[in-house]
Amino acid sequence: MKNAITESEVKDIEKLKPFKNNPKFHPPEQIKKIRESIRSWGFTIPILIDEESNVIAGHGRLEAAKEEGMLQVPVLIARGWTEEQKKAYVIADNKIAEKAIWDYDALKELLDDLDEFHIDLTGFEKLELDSIFFERQLGITDTGVEWQGMPEWDVESPAFRKMTINFEDEKSVSDFFELIGQDFTDKTKHINFPYKPNRNLKNIFFKDEGQ
Amino acid sequence: MKANKFPLYIPTKGRFEYMITSKALTEMGLHHYLVVEEQEAEKYQKAIQEYQLTSEILVLDNQFKKDYELCDEYGLTKSTGPGPARNFAWDHSIKKGYEWHWVMDDNIKMFRMMYKATRIKTIARSIWTQMENFVLRYKNIGMAGPNYSMFAVPHKGLSPFVLNTRIYSCNLIRNSLSYRWRGRYNEDTILSLDLLKAGWCTVQFNMWMQDKLNTQTIKGGNTAEFYHKEGEVLDGHRYAVTGTSAKSDMLFKVHPDVSKVKIKYGRVHHQVDYHLFKKQKLILDENNKISKTNKNYGIVANDPNLLSEIK
């Protein structure tokens, strides 16, 4: 296997340099979770660095280790990688992992076996856990059925047909209105045919009886 | 005449000279809380007196700002947006013993009801009861609220409500939820998605609507805090041309699996795919005893003759 990395070693934490333009930001809540993980299980995944100690993968772990006061961390060294390979891996390391899909039934079974303390260590947030254990009913909701007992719902337009007419110029506008025998102003936007005055709804409103 | 069961909150900043939502709620005769920052409390108090509003001031506890999850790395160097004040309102309503609360933007100029394919202004207090009673029928609604009237265009396919979508600007929230507002921007969408992903349903009503002033048309609020500060307002334009990109970027960061960032009409917009949640069904709450026969709650038109013109 080309450029295979097989052995880890230990490096001084202060010698490690974050990758320039690392595209992933690690929010404080995530760092807190990583710190808890390091405390519980130790440093299980070494940080991937290049020969100049630039971090390629593991920025979150590095930050968490610093906050934990660690002086040294396990690293894997990527030897002979080109700059393009390193840059691509910085992205791939984050992006490819996002493609995995949870089997929620299997996950729920595992979580069912854990106590609250250990569930906390899994990295799952309350919101995600709620989602896993939430009572759901899947299917199509019939809004008409659910609306029973609510105010009358009728949104059918009283018009037989509606259409938009685009006029080429001012003369076309006046020709058109002359043809249908109706008046118009600069503000005319809707008309009825045959003629029916537009409703003036500005003065109408709903209120409670007795209000 | 039935009014809201649950308290109404309006977080507001820098807009004491407008009091737009407060005026709308006052016209309905509804008590509501204004959540304001300490340095502006006096100015808001004066505005309440000047406009004779039915508002009560609550001063935001700054701890809510410090504890707020901003979802970016800028801390308190930039405005937090309304999220901390909304969380404050949430906790306040819990302390008051309520199971739900309403929280809304400060630039809603009126509410409307759909009547025979027409969106009519309403000052009826009972529209709040109607929305609340619908939501209380079900045990798995996390959040609900009226749609923007400009989006509820009457047509044959329009439903009285849309299930499992974003609830914005006027939100009825179940207090027992373990989530809270988060994000410096787009907190409405983020919370909606948080709930939907967790399995809760959301309900956006087209039967009842809100009329908002267009974004960035009045001073204060997000206009001052974000859009004009972070974007560029060109000569002769009301809108900042770049101030919404950070907003869209944030949503993409927090919920990348369901959102996209796109340029539309020369501005950066976010797009969310809510279809993933469409199959989460409403589940009736067997313990809910609210009658289903009280259809119109005694709502009437101010002038029945005018109403009869609507066919």
More reliable by pLDDT, B121 or A138 = B121
Instruction: Give ipTM to 2 decimals.
Output: 0.84
Is residue A127 very low, low, confident or very high in pLDDT (cuts 50, 70, 90)?
low
Rounded to whole angstroms, how far apart are CA atoms A123 and A114? 13
Separation in Å, CA of A79 to nearest CA in chain B: 32
Rounded to whole angstroms, how far apart are CA atoms B249 and B251? 6
Separation in Å, CA of A38 to nearest CA in chain B: 23
Q: Which residues of B touch A211 (CB under 8 A)?
A: 1, 29, 123-125
Query: A103-107: long-range contacts (C-beta < 8 A, 24 or more apart)?
Result: A104/A132, A107/A132
Is residue A24 very low, low, confident or very high in pLDDT (cuts 50, 70, 90)?
confident
pLDDT digits (tens, 9 = 90+) for A173-198: 999 999 999 999 998 888 889 998 77
Selected residues 84-103 of chain A with any CB under 8 Å from a CB in chain B: 98
Q: How far is CA A34 from the centre of its chain?
A: 22
For an interface test with A, give the residue of B1, B202, B281 to mutate (most A CBs within 10 A).
B281
What DSSP string runs through A63-114? HHHHHTT-SEEEEEEE-S--HHHHHHHHHHHHHHHHT----HHHHHHHHHTS
Contact with chain B for residue A136, Cβ under 8 A: yes
Rounded to whole angstroms, how far apart are CA atoms A157 and A179? 26
Picking from B73, B292, B307, the nearest residue to A148 by CB comes out as B292
How many pairs of residues across A and B have Cβ atoms under 8 Å apart?
157
Least confident of A123-132, B54-63, B93-102: A123-132
pLDDT digits (tens, 9 = 90+) for B188-231: 999 999 999 888 999 999 999 999 987 666 777 766 665 555 55
Least confident of A146-150, A206-210, B25-29, B236-240: B236-240
Contact check, Cβ <8 Å, A207/B154:
no
User: What contacts B111, CB < 8 A, 6 or more positions away?
Assistant: B24, B28, B121, B122, B123, B127, B146, B208, B209, B210, B211
**CA closest to B71 among chain A residues:** A27
pLDDT digits (tens, 9 = 90+) for B15-44: 999 999 999 999 999 999 999 999 999 999
